[in-house]
Amino acid sequence: MTGNNLADYLTLGLIMFSIGAVGVIVRRNPIVIFMCIELMLNAVNLTFLAFARFTPTSAALADRAESFMSGQMMVVFVMAVAAAEVAVGLGIIMAIYRLRNEIDIDEMNLLKG
């Protein structure tokens, strides 16, 4: 897509991030909360790639890891980590469900002091 400037992509990423943040707070189902977290991670990915594409490379970074490449590397690793995180997190939710037979996040307040 030509003719876009950086601000457009960043705006999109910002809106997605905000929606995801609100969703984490508002929803009570932990699976949905997870999904909102994924939303936020994706927004961040988009921001990284937008910056990788549009910002200039400094001379110091030119030989080692160009900033446009490093932005993509970041996204790669975010994806990997997100995958692992989802796997483990859903496993936790399953274990909790098996224990309590319900997954209302408001009921899980054993950390209450």
Determine, following the binding rule CB under 8 A, whether residue 100 of this chain makes contact with other proteins: no
Binding mask 63-82 for other proteins (x = CB under 8 A): -xxx-xx--xx-xxx-xxxx
Binding mask 20-59 for other proteins (x = CB under 8 A): xxxxxxxxxx-xx-xxx-xx--x--xx--xx-xxxxxx--
Contacts of 53 (CB under 8 A, 6+ apart): 68, 71
Dist CA 53 CA 55 (whole Å) = 6
Pick the binder of other proteins from 58, 59, 60, 113 (CB under 8 A): 113
Dist CA 63 CA 72 (whole Å) = 16
